[in-house]
Chain A
Amino acid sequence: MENKPSGSPTSLVDQLVVPGDVVLDLNSMTNQTIKLGGGLRQDCDAIAVTKAGKLRCTKPNKYWVESSQKRYEPHPGDSVLGIVVDSKADNFLVDIKGPALAYLPVLAFEGGTRRNIPKFEVGTLIYVRVVKANPGMNPELSCTDASGKAAEFGQLKDGYMFESSTGLSRTLLSSPTCPVLDALGKKLSFEIAVGLNGRVWVNATSPSTVIVVANAIMNSESLSAVQQRIMVEKLLQNLKLST
């Protein structure tokens, strides 16, 4: 059965699309600039989907496919949690769950000079920002934000790190605050760092708090907002009963 290209762009928006679906037919839209995000490809005159997910669009002309997966594709501007794998003369080699190891230049810290190079051992967990991610090249990272300030980037000490899907990471970072974090934050005090590469780090004063927060986040991926609140209530009751 042939898949007819849709003339109007709104027919497939917010719907599940699979690779091969033709989303837009450029012949019917003249003199418009369209911005394509991830998951879409231009095939001569048609825009085709390359990744399964939900097609999203914002006015006036941005289209992209949102999907959640375990694999991370590095993108400039993302904040990720990396694990130091090796240190060389000019940069640290950091694993960010992408297709290639990333380089973190030794001087990419606030006030970083040749004299005060941080000593990261192998296995150190760090919160970094992706600066460059060209296809075929190793991504480049930095421990400062775009203006050069430290801004919470750097080594994450203590705490517990677990892996999640990229979709869950994006939900945890969305604003307004995602329901599970909101409900947990009302009763418990903890600190959390979310990496867009599917890694989450939680730290709190008592280990039971850390475990409750981690379990709540891991279970919340497929639940709706109301179900998330109910689940958090149950977990907090169990926590109170055991202490």
Chain B
Amino acid sequence: MKEEGEREVVTPGEVLGKASDVRAGRGAYLAPHNNLVYASLTGFRRALSPSPDSPDQRPTVEITDHKAHGAVPEPGSIVIARVTKVMAKMASADIMCVGPKSVREKFSGIIRQQDVRATEIDKVDMHLSFRPGDIVKAIVLSLGDARAYYLSTAKNELGVVSAESTAGATMVPISWTEMQCPLTAQIEHRKVAKIGG
């Protein structure tokens, strides 16, 4: 007998109830061949009571507290990523936040040479746009291939948000292509994001 307050862990494939008793919510699905509601995620089951004025009075069962509840990048969402590797034709980045929420598992992104900026895209020098360790704001172009999402910084408000100079200090942006170190006054080249109005 289930006690009050005890939460039951369910795994994918477990039967949550009959279709006539419960409605499938998030993390559950209705199998049409035998009218049973199964779980499709691992997590805790939660029953939501139906709204009183809806015609369907079955409670909705859903699965909560699983890892995928964290943010997942979708095409068109603005992400914050940290550049891990810069190569001749592309840069790899680890996606850390999707919109305002941080992600719960690691997502990889790639910024290709033609997606760094909007003008003169074949003359882009990746080394003058990003360095390993930079924090960039990018938009997700597509789900990409099996390894990484495709990201783009080809807008004024996208690009490097925060970067460290070779001397170790956080640099100050001076234009859309340059940032300056406050300790040594050396100027380094980045594709800088325009923050603010």
Contacts and interface: CB of A to CB of B under 8 A. Distances in A.
A44 B86 contact: no
B131 A140 contact: no
A138 B183 contact: no
Interface of A: 42-44, 103, 132, 134, 136-138, 140
B148 to A, nearest CB: 18
Given A42-B184, A44-B183, A136 B167 contact: no
A225 B40 CA distance: 81
Contacts of A132: 127
Interface residues of B, number: 12
Contacts of A140: 88
B87 interface: yes
B183 A137 contact: no
Contact of B131 (A43, A44, A136, A138): A136
B132 interface: yes
A43 B168 CA distance: 10
A137 B127 contact: yes
B184 A137 contact: no
A43 B186 CA distance: 11
Contacts of B186: 42
Contacts of A136: 85-86, 131-132
Contacts of B167: 42-43
Contacts of B127: 132, 134, 137
A44 B184 contact: yes
11 contacts: A42-B167, A42-B184, A43-B167, A44-B183, A44-B184, A103-B88, A136-B86, A136-B132, A137-B87, A138-B88, A140-B88
A132 B88 CA distance: 10
A30 to B, nearest CB: 14
Contacts of A137: 86-88, 126-127
Contacts of B88: 103, 137-138, 140
A103 B85 CA distance: 16
A89 to B, nearest CB: 13
A46 to B, nearest CB: 11
Contacts of B132: 136
A43 B127 CA distance: 24
A43 B165 CA distance: 12
The 5 closest A-B pairs by CB, nearest first: A134-B127, A42-B184, A136-B132, A44-B183, A137-B86
